């Protein structure tokens, strides 16, 4: 007898981009613990991604790690072909229930020194990648599905060196608002989760004492955010109870800069 049948996401399928580590990994594991079959994507970190997929399978659900550069539309298209195979193998059905656009590339560079190539890359992965991931997911998403885009506190709080990165995340927040009515016709919700500082490879502030003190000083909840804090928020949005919740940005920053 399956121990997963009473779980909130039992029978659902999910695709989490950028889940070889950090926040994406925590989201994928949380959705799997809630009973979903979870495909994950990675860019370069194949071994880490395969290990995450194995961790997910150990929870009693199916998983696969799909390599794709989300800065390339051709690569996104190929990833969704691989996702189709997984969905059919995992469930016998082609439908996807939950898409989490989490993959992103960081850029911490003074505005006056940012190159065109750096700017293009951050927008290609963080904004264009989300748009085309959603475009490719659209026909695969089941009615009543969920699209969750991971944005950033940087869209409401200015930090020197983050201008291009923050603008790429701001583009996603606008995209979410624009897409919510389109997808609402099918009962699919589109929302952003906006993390504050979370202890991962990407967050350079938390790797320095000064940055860590600044982050803690500006937060209402005085502790360093962990990837699991965001995984839990995404699971909250993914559940059936959150069906009346679309086009929004959920601040998940421990009450930063209130
Ligand atoms: N950490 C924070 O403080 C913080 C705060 C606000 C928002 N966020 C957002 O939270 C999300 C996760 O960030 P994180 O902190 O967990 O970062 P992370 O540890 O650097 O992980 C990023 C993930 O994205 C993948 N990725 C990067 N570029 C990719 C590409 N071109 N194609 C496919 N996958 C790619 C990486 O995989 P590979 O190594 O395999 O390429 C990795 O799995 C991002 O959207 C980030 O902007 C983070």
pLDDT (tens, 9 = 90+) of the chain, 258 residues, equals: 445 689 999 999 999 999 999 999 999 999 999 999 999 999 999 999 999 999 999 999 999 999 999 999 999 999 999 999 999 999 999 999 999 999 999 999 999 999 999 999 999 999 999 999 999 999 999 999 999 999 999 999 999 999 999 999 999 999 999 999 999 999 999 999 999 999 999 998 999 999 999 999 999 999 999 999 999 999 999 999 999 999 999 999 999 999
How far, in Å, is the centroid of ligand 1 from the Cα of 102? 7
Q: In what order do the strands lie in the sheet containing 13-16?
A: 63-67, 37-42, 13-16, 96-101, 141-150, 189-195, 249-252
Domain 13-250 sits in which CATH superfamily?
NAD(P)-binding Rossmann-like Domain (3.40.50.720)
- Say what the pLDDT of residue 1 is: 41
- Say what the pLDDT of residue 4 is: 66
What is the phi/psi pair of residue 205, to 5°?
Answer: -60, -45
How far, in Å, is the centroid of ligand 1 from the Cα of 92? 31
Nearest CA to 39 among 87, 102, 73? 87
Q: Which ligand 1 atom lies nearest to the CA of residue 42?
A: 40
Model confidence, pTM:
0.98
- Say what the pLDDT of residue 5 is: 80
Q: How many residues in total does the chain contain? A: 258
Ligand 1 residue neighbourhood (C-beta within 6 Å): 18-24, 41-45, 68-71, 102-105, 125, 150, 152-153, 195, 197-198, 200-203
How far, in Å, is the centroid of ligand 1 from the Cα of 5? 31
DSSP assignment letter at 108: -
């Amino acid at each position: 007898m399956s121990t997963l049948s009473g779980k909130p996401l039992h029978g659902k399928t999910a695709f989490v981009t950028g889940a070889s580590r950090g926040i994406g990994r925590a989201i994928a594991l949380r959705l799997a613990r809630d009973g979903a079959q979870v495909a994950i994507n990675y860019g370069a970190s194949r071994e880490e991604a395969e290990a995450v997929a194995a961790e997910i399978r150990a929870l009693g659900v199916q998983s696969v790690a799909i390599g794709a550069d989300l800065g390339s539309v051709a690569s996104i298209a190929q990833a969704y072909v691989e996702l189709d195979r997984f969905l059919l193998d995992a469930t016998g059905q082609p439908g996807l229930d939950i898409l989490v656009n989490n993959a992103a590339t960081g850029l911490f560079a003074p505005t006056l020194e940012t190159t065109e190539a750096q700017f293009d890359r951050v927008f290609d992965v963080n904004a264009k990648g989300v748009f085309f991931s959603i475009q490719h997911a659209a026909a695969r998403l089941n009615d009543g599905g969920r699209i969750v885009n991971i944005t950033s506190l940087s869209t409401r709080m200015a930090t020197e060196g983050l201008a291009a990165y923050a603008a790429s995340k701001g583009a996603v927040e606008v995209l979410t608002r624009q897409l919510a009515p389109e997808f609402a016709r099918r009962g699919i919700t589109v929302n952003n989760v906006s993390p504050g500082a979370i202890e991962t490879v990407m967050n350079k502030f938390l790797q320095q004492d000064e940055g860590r003190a600044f982050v803690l000083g500006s937060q209402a909840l005085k502790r360093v955010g962990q990837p699991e804090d965001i995984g839990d928020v995404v699971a909250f949005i993914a559940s059936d109870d959150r069906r009346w919740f679309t086009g929004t940005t959920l601040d998940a920053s421990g009450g930063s800069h209130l």
